[in-house]
Amino acid sequence: MSDILTHTDGGVTTITFNRLDKKNSITAAMYSALADALDAASADAAVRVVVFQGHETIFSAGNDIADFLNNPPSGENAPVIRFLYALSSFAKPVLASVCGPAVGIGTTLLFHCDLVYAGDNAAFSMPFVNLGLCPEAGSSLLVPQMMGYHRACEALLLGEPFMAEAALEVGLVNRVVPPTEANGIAQTQARKLAAKPLSALVETKRLMKSGTAAQVTAKINEELLSFGRMLREPAAREAFGAFMEKRRPDFSKV
Ligand code: COA
């Protein structure tokens, strides 16, 4: 079975992370599949809304660390970069249903979604600094904008997780429900949107985002330059090596 499942019904394309044995961590092949799914949904007039979902126990553990070590992304055609551009510029409404851990890009992708529903077990984290890295997906702009600078520092400098209720309080999620209900609520809301005139949805989303769209793209590009460089540096190599060897990283020399 594929690691990314795509299913379209009633004008709603649902994209499911389906790599449970590795906690839905995302490989380059999965980023390609995600970018392809968004491109297809964008081009298909019958698709009006996209929903991302994971499993009741895990949304995504973020980038696959082994894949990142072996094939660090480079160039603007790298699958992760294709995905980021496709998502951040996606014109139709995008929803997400998040249960369990949402790590790294598992959280930062949500800042590009229009509606987010969370299970009460959702735990959001952006531990880039702990991995010797910097934020991605425009999160160094979008996180302080949404959460305020000091809460953004807890999330991005300390890399501390925050739970569903805190995400609700800062406006990252729309509603917190039992994990068994999250995917269903996202589908219900997606179907409500799919019944509305698409042109009005697309224009309303465009107007809400047009003031910041260029800034977001510029920030994604700026972050990518730093992230690509830092991936190859000693701090990230140590963090990733430690994860693979199931030990604590030692940053005393970096
Ligand atoms: N990349 C690659 N493999 C990953 C992974 C990742 N990001 N996250 C988890 N896995 C793998 C583990 O190596 C383990 O594989 P194994 O069974 O072959 O040993 C398997 O998934 C289960 O992970 P485990 O850590 O045992 O599950 P858990 O329920 O105890 O914890 C997480 C779940 C998500 C909290 C934890 O796996 C984690 O913190 N992952 C790393 C997250 C991260 O730093 N992502 C990068 C962000 S840029």
Residues 6+ apart with CB under 8 A from 192: none
pLDDT at 1 over 90: no
Residue 108 has pLDDT above 90, yes or no: yes
Average pLDDT, the chain: 97
- Section 77-101 average pLDDT: 97
pLDDT score at 69: 85
Question: In testing the pocket of ligand 1, which one of 25, 71, 125, 238 has its CB within 8 Å of the most ligand atoms?
Answer: 25
Distance separating alpha carbons of residues 123 and 125, to the nearest angstrom: 7
Q: Is the pLDDT of residue 73 over 90?
A: no
Predicted pLDDT of residue 70: 87
Over residues 136-161, mean pLDDT: 97
- pLDDT over 90 at 84, yes or no: yes
Is residue 108 within 8 Å of 136, Cβ to Cβ?
Answer: yes
- In the sheet that holds 101-103, the strands lie side by side as 101-103, 123-125, 162-163
**Position 74 pLDDT exceeds 90:** no
Check if 63 has its Cβ closer than 6 Å to any atom of ligand 1.
yes
Specify the pLDDT at position 75. Answer: 81
